Amino acid sequence: MNQEFEVWNFVLAKLKKEKSVTLLLVAESSGSSPGRQGFKMAVAGDEMRGSIGGGAMEVALVEQAKEICDAETRRRGDAGKKQKAKSVGKESRDKAHNSEFLIPQSAILPMVHRKNSPHSSGMICSGKQTVIFFRLDSSHSKCVSEIIRALKKLERKVLQISPMEFKVKPLRGKRSTEISFEKKRAGGFVYKEDLGRKNNLFIVGGGHCALALSEMMSKLNFHITLFDDRPKLNTLEKNDFVHEKRVVKSYEKIASHIASGKNNYVVVMTLGYKSDEVVIRKLFDKKFKYLGVLGSKAKMKTLLRNLEKDGFDKMKLRKIHTPIGIPINSKTPEEIAISIAAEIIGVKNA
């Protein structure tokens, strides 16, 4: 389970128990801010899930979130006592709805990570971020359930948050941006986040390295599809980390399974040199965010040289990430998976 699921499942569990939850969400960030746009954290009493960047800033904001939850709990307790009273006069009823009993539904807090600056977060890493506080209660359970379903089933939905609004709606037309945040007058704002599928990872070859990479990438926000031409491969059967498994009769048809896309990442790690070459030839004319091939320097040098001799564009061949992964002298499948994941993350966040 990735952190996004963990946060929302935690929220839903608390709301079903009639507990108040404060959602902390990084609406925007810049510079060296430790919390990046879209980071989330949920606080319910002394329990919490997720992160908005850590450090002194997070500790301080969590304490504020706890105070909001505690204040809401006290407000509910006071309201409950009044409802149970045998006789409640108009004056008491009015007091129950007085502003001193109302807890703000939402707020936005600017955090600047520098000393002696307005809105200082207590950190000195430079950069800044804006954090949304939004108080959730049982009335938001249905909406949170929709968020979880959209993430799980990769439905095209948008989460929209404004000062008094928290809703999920269908995503119309083409996806324009994954997250947007707009400040309005008098403290108003509109935050929108695309739910469901954001990045697609296609792994061609289902061996031990693919199994390790699948487990690593399953914790990130990638929809993972795994291909192999060996239907009874042990590591293919054991791989429960991917969203889809596809057994192909021949890698000659791989192009019909993987489309071009600016959010598409492809890792080629088939059984050997010849099948790797087939896959590269078939996918070469497609446009991906990332294309990497597992193999030694000597093997890949020979493979690319052969492709160049056959007329494949030299400059485009150089854009293939191979030997795949960042150079950390990785040996085991798990170490190789870490190096590949790091390289993919570097490309994604560039």
- Is pLDDT of 84 > 60? no
Reading the block at residue 239, the tokens are: 């791989």
Kindly state the average pLDDT of the residues 14-42.
84
- Confidence (pLDDT) at 237: 93
Is the Cβ–Cβ distance between 325 and 292 less than 8 Å? yes
Helical (H) or strand (E) element with 146: helix 141-153
CB atoms within 10 A of CB 326: 15
- Is pLDDT of 79 > 60? no
CATH says 199-348 is which class?
alpha beta
- 22 phi, psi to nearest 5 deg: -100, 120
State the virtual CA torsion across 129, 12, 140, 51 in degrees, nearest 10.
0
User: Checking DSSP bridges between strand 47-50 and strand 40-44, what pairing results, if any?
Assistant: antiparallel
pTM over 0.75: no
Reading the block at residue 267, the tokens are: 């890792």
Reading the block at residue 112, the tokens are: 């600047």
- Is pLDDT of 193 > 80? yes
Give CA–CA dist 107/53, Å, rounded.
18
Residue 67: HSE in the Cβ half-sphere, 13 Å Cα cutoff: 8
Q: What angle do the packed helices 3-16 and 141-153 form, to 10 degrees?
A: 150
Q: How far is C-alpha 265 from the chain's CA centre?
A: 16
pLDDT digits (tens, 9 = 90+) for 196-255: 767 899 999 999 999 999 999 988 878 899 999 999 899 999 999 998 999 999 999 999
Q: Please state, for a pLDDT cut of 90, what percent of the chain lies above it.
A: 52
Give CA–CA dist 93/81, Å, rounded.
11
Q: Please state, for a pLDDT cut of 70, what percent of the chain lies above it.
A: 81
Q: How far, CA to CA in Å, does 2 sit from each of 9, 244, 330?
A: 11, 17, 25
User: Checking DSSP bridges between strand 179-183 and strand 106-112, what pairing results, if any?
Assistant: unpaired
Is the Cβ–Cβ distance between 266 and 291 less than 8 Å? yes
Give CA–CA dist 136/159, Å, rounded.
14
Kindly state the average pLDDT of the residues 141-160.
89
Sequence-distant (6+) residues with CB within 8 A of 31 are 113, 126, 127, 128
Q: How far, CA to CA in Å, does 55 sit from each of 113, 115, 117, 267, 327?
A: 11, 14, 18, 35, 30
Kindly state the average pLDDT of the residues 186-198.
84
Give the chain's count of helices (H) and strands (E). Answer: 10, 14
Is the Cβ–Cβ distance between 205 and 242 less than 8 Å? no
Residue ranges, CATH 3.40.50.720, the chain: 199-348
Sequence-distant (6+) residues with CB within 8 A of 7 are 40, 41, 42, 49, 50
- Confidence (pLDDT) at 96: 35
Site of tokens 């790091």 = 342
Instruction: Say whether 344 sits in a helix, a strand or coil.
Output: helix
- 318 phi, psi to nearest 5 deg: -70, -20
Is the Cβ–Cβ distance between 271 and 206 less than 8 Å? no
Amino acid at residue number 247: V
Give CA–CA dist 342/320, Å, rounded.
16
pLDDT digits (tens, 9 = 90+) for 295-308: 989 989 999 999 99
Q: Could you give the maximum distance between any two Cα atoms of the chain, in Å?
A: 93
